[in-house]
Chain A
Amino acid sequence: MRGLARDARAALAVALAAPLLAGILLVVQAHLLAGLLGAAIAEGRPRAALVAPLVAVAGLIGLRAVLAGVGEFAGAAAAERIKRSLRDALFRRFAARPVDWVRGRTAGGLASAMIEQVDALEGYFARYLPAAIAAVFLPLAFAAAVVPVEPIVALLFLVTAPLVPLFMALVGYGAERASRRHLDAFARLSGLFADRLRGLTTLKLFGRAEAEVATVRDASDALRARTLAVLKIAFLSSAVLEFFAALAVAAVALYVGLSYLGLVSLRTNPLTLATGLFCLLMAPEVFLPLRQFAAHYHDRAAAKAATAALDGMFEGLPAAPAETPRRAQLRDKGPATLVVEGLVLDAPDGRRVLDGVGFAASTGGLTVILGASGAGKSTLLEAVRGLRALDAGRVLIDDTRLDGISPVALAERIGWLGQRPRIVHGTIADNIRLGRPEASAAAVIEAARLACVSEFADLLPHGLSTFVGERGHGLSGGEAQRVALARVFLRDPGLLLLDEPTAHLDAETELRVLAGILRFGRGRTIVIATHSARLAMRADQRLRLVDGRIEPATQLRPTLRLVHDARRSGGRPGSPE
Chain B
Amino acid sequence: MFARLFLARSGRFALALLLATVTLLAGIALFAISGWFLTGAALAGAAGAMSFNLFAPSAAVRGLSMLRIAARYAERVTGHDATIRLLADLRVWLFRRLVPLAPLARRSFRGGDLVARLTADVDALDTVFLLAIGPSLALLLAGGSLVAILHFLLPDAVPAVAAVALLLAAVLPLVLLRLARRPGEAATAASAALRTGVIDAVEGHADLRGLGVIDGARRAVMREADALAAARLRQAALSASGAVIAQIGAGLALLALLWVGLGALEAGTLTGPLLVGAALALLGLFEMIGPVLRGIPRLGQAAAAARRIRALVGTALPVADPAEPVPLPEGGTIAFDSVSYAYEPGRTVLSDLSFTLEPGERVALVGPSGGGKSTVLSLLLRLDDVGSGAIRIGGVDIREVAQADLHRHVALMAQDAPVFLGTVRDNLAIGAPSADDAVFWAALESVRLADVVRAMPGGLDAWIGEAGQTLSTGQARRLALARTLLRRAPVLALDEPTSGLDPQTEAAFFRDLAAATAGRTVLLVTHAGLPAGTVDRTLHIAGGRLVAGGGAPAPIRLRR
Please give, as numbers and ranges, the residues of chain B lying within 8 Å of A209 by CB-CB distance.
Answer: 96, 99, 102
Which listed residue, B50, B195, B469, touches A261 by the CB 8 Å rule?
B50
A399-440 at interface with B (beta carbon < 8 Å): 407-408, 410-412, 414, 416-422, 424-425, 434-435, 437
CB distance from B188 to the nearest CB of A (A): 12
Q: Within 8 Å of chain A (Cβ to Cβ): is B275? A: yes
Please give, as numbers and ranges, the residues of chain A lying within 8 Å of B211 by CB-CB distance.
Answer: 411, 416, 434-435, 487, 491
The count of chain A contact residues (Cβ–Cβ below 8 Å) is 167
State whether A213 and B95 are in contact (beta carbons under 8 Å apart), knowing that A92-B218, A191-B421, A419-B473 are contacts in the complex: yes
Q: Within 8 Å of chain A (Cβ to Cβ): is B336? A: no
Which listed residue, B31, B42, B81, touches A249 by the CB 8 Å rule?
B31
B68 touches A68 (CB 8 A): no
State whether A473 and B105 are in contact (beta carbons under 8 Å apart), knowing that A195-B421, A216-B91, A261-B45 are contacts in the complex: yes
Bound-complex Cα distance A19 to B31 (A):
23
B433 touches A211 (CB 8 A): yes
A438-472 at interface with B (beta carbon < 8 Å): 456, 459-461, 469-471
Which listed residue, A69, A197, A477, A507, touches B240 by the CB 8 Å rule?
A69
CB distance from B472 to the nearest CB of A (A): 4
- A34-42, A163-171, A307-315, A354-362 - interface stretch: A34-42
Q: Within 8 Å of chain B (Cβ to Cβ): is A1? A: no
Bound-complex Cα distance A228 to B81 (A):
7
Bound-complex Cα distance A414 to B380 (A):
43
In the complex, per-residue mask of B369-404: 1 if CB is within 8 Å of any chain A CB, else 0: 110001000000101000000000000000000001
Please give, as numbers and ranges, the residues of chain A lying within 8 Å of B96 by CB-CB distance.
Answer: 209-210, 213
- A100-108, A128-136, A327-335, A567-575 - interface stretch: A100-108
Interface of chain A: mostly helix, strand, loop or mixed: helix
B92 touches A260 (CB 8 A): no
Closest residue of chain A to B421 (Cβ to Cβ) is: A195
A104 touches B199 (CB 8 A): no
A72 touches B68 (CB 8 A): no
Q: Within 8 Å of chain B (Cβ to Cβ): is A508? A: yes
CB distance from A547 to the nearest CB of B (A): 14
Please give, as numbers and ranges, the residues of chain A lying within 8 Å of B340 by CB-CB distance.
Answer: none
A425 touches B472 (CB 8 A): no
Q: Considering residues A47, A111, A194, A378, which has the most beta carbons from chain B within 10 angstroms of its beta carbon?
A: A111
Which listed residue, A206, A277, A408, A459, touches B212 by the CB 8 Å rule?
A408
Bound-complex Cα distance A199 to B426 (A):
13
Q: Within 8 Å of chain B (Cβ to Cβ): is A17? A: no
Closest residue of chain B to A487 (Cβ to Cβ) is: B211
B87 touches A206 (CB 8 A): no
CB distance from A411 to the nearest CB of B (A): 2
Please give, as numbers and ranges, the residues of chain A lying within 8 Å of B499 by CB-CB distance.
Answer: 477, 503-504
Q: Within 8 Å of chain A (Cβ to Cβ): is B54? A: yes
Closest residue of chain A to B51 (Cβ to Cβ) is: A261
In the complex, per-residue mask of B191-203: 1 if CB is within 8 Å of any chain A CB, else 0: 1001100111111
Which listed residue, A126, A254, A261, touches B52 by the CB 8 Å rule?
A261
A506-555 at interface with B (beta carbon < 8 Å): 506-509, 531, 533
A110 touches B202 (CB 8 A): yes
A62 touches B248 (CB 8 A): yes
Bound-complex Cα distance A273 to B61 (A):
20
Closest residue of chain B to A274 (Cβ to Cβ) is: B42
State whether A201 and B414 are in contact (beta carbons under 8 Å apart), knowing that A58-B251, A235-B77, A469-B110 are contacts in the complex: yes
CB distance from B387 to the nearest CB of A (A): 16
Please give, as numbers and ranges, the residues of chain B lying within 8 Å of A410 by CB-CB distance.
Answer: 212
Q: Within 8 Å of chain A (Cβ to Cβ): is B58? A: yes
Please give, as numbers and ranges, the residues of chain B lying within 8 Å of A460 by CB-CB distance.
Answer: 347
Please give, as numbers and ranges, the residues of chain A lying within 8 Å of B229 by CB-CB distance.
Answer: 80-81, 83-84
Which listed residue, B44, B69, B106, B115, touches A194 by the CB 8 Å rule?
B115
Q: Within 8 Å of chain B (Cβ to Cβ): is A137? A: no
B262-280 at interface with A (beta carbon < 8 Å): 262-263, 265-266, 272, 275-276, 279-280
Please, could you name 8 A-B residue pairs with CB atoms under 8 Å apart, sorted by A?
A42-B272, A99-B205, A111-B195, A114-B194, A198-B418, A280-B34, A416-B210, A461-B346
- Enumerate the 3 nearest inter-chain pairs by beta-carbon distance, A residue then B residue, closest first: A411-B212, A61-B251, A373-B474
Q: A249-B65, A470-B110 are in contact. List 8 more A-B contacts (CB 8 A).
A: A37-B279, A88-B222, A91-B201, A191-B421, A203-B102, A207-B407, A371-B502, A491-B211
